[in-house]
Amino acid sequence: MSDQEKPSSHNHEPAPGAGHEQHEAAAYGDEEMVHVHKQLERENGEPEEGFTPVPLALMVCFGVLFFWTGMYFTKYNGDFRPDVFSADWRPGSGGQQGEVAFDPIKRGDRLFSNNCATCHQADGNGVPGAFPPLDGSPWVVGAPERFVKIVMRGLQGPVEVKGNTYNGNMPSYGENGLDWDDRDISAITTFVRQSWSNEAPAISEELVAEVRASIADKSGAWSADELLDMHPME
């Protein structure tokens, strides 16, 4: 094979000076990147620790909101009592709400469901050995004054109901307890005396007021013996 036919080993070697030009181009690119980074640093600045104060206008808005909320709850909190809501209220057609006649049975039903049904049960049969029944109980359908006194001051100690003895504590719903007014006590006692198989007469607010005045000096709950001394079982 002649020298002309032999493949040249230098065909793919870079031309002289090519490597130097590449290094210069890379250095130029690095300088450009540094220049760009410096510009960004001047525009954005270094991050600093701290906080931004709340704008005064926003603080004033929050202050007005808290003041209004306090005034609203002061006026419409209903003393935060669970029995303030009236189930008898209905919105008026012309924006005016007419006076709704008070229904003691509906009121008594709601009071009983919220306060008494857990122990005496919704059907008035109570819990054997724990809570006495109200359905057919002579303590309920008997002397109305006796029943009102029980609701107002509560009952503690043993009590016999329909041949069974119960020994527990009934809370007060009068001045020493939930402080129900005459209308509420009249409503719930009437409801109990006229529910299930009970058919006793209603108890008026006037009677409740008389009983309240007669036991104004009574503190603590009644015992069964105390009540039977004043109102013997029929």
* Cα–Cα dist 191/84, whole Å: 18
* Cα–Cα dist 162/136, whole Å: 8
pLDDT at 213: 97
How many C-beta atoms lie closer than 10 Å to residue 203's C-beta?
Answer: 26
Integer Rg of the chain from CA? 44
**Residue owning tokens 């935060």:** 80
Residues in contact with 103: Cβ distance below 8 Å, sequence separation at least 6, in sequence order: 88
How many C-beta atoms lie closer than 10 Å to residue 138's C-beta?
Answer: 14
pLDDT at 165: 96
Domains present along the chain, CATH in parentheses? 104-230 (1.10.760.10)
Say if strands 155-161 and 164-170 run parallel, antiparallel, or are unpaired.
antiparallel
What is the residue-level pLDDT of the chain in tens, covering all 234 positions? Answer: 445 555 554 455 555 555 555 555 555 556 666 666 666 666 655 566 666 777 888 888 888 888 888 888 777 776 666 656 665 666 654 445 556 788 999 999 999 999 999 999 999 999 999 999 999 999 999 999 999 999 999 999 999 999 999 999 999 999 989 999 999 999 999 999 999 999 999 999 999 999 999 999 999 999 999 999 999 998
| H or E stretch covering 156 | strand 155-161
pTM of the model: 0.59
Q: Under a CB-based contact definition with an 8 Å cutoff, are residues 130 and 167 in contact?
A: no
Q: Count Cα atoms within 13 angstroms, Cβ side, for 135.
A: 12
pLDDT at 95: 47
pLDDT at 59: 84
Tell me the C-alpha to C-alpha distance, in Å, between residue 71 and each of 68, 75, 83: 5, 6, 22
Helical pair 182-193 and 144-153, crossing angle rounded to 10 deg: 120
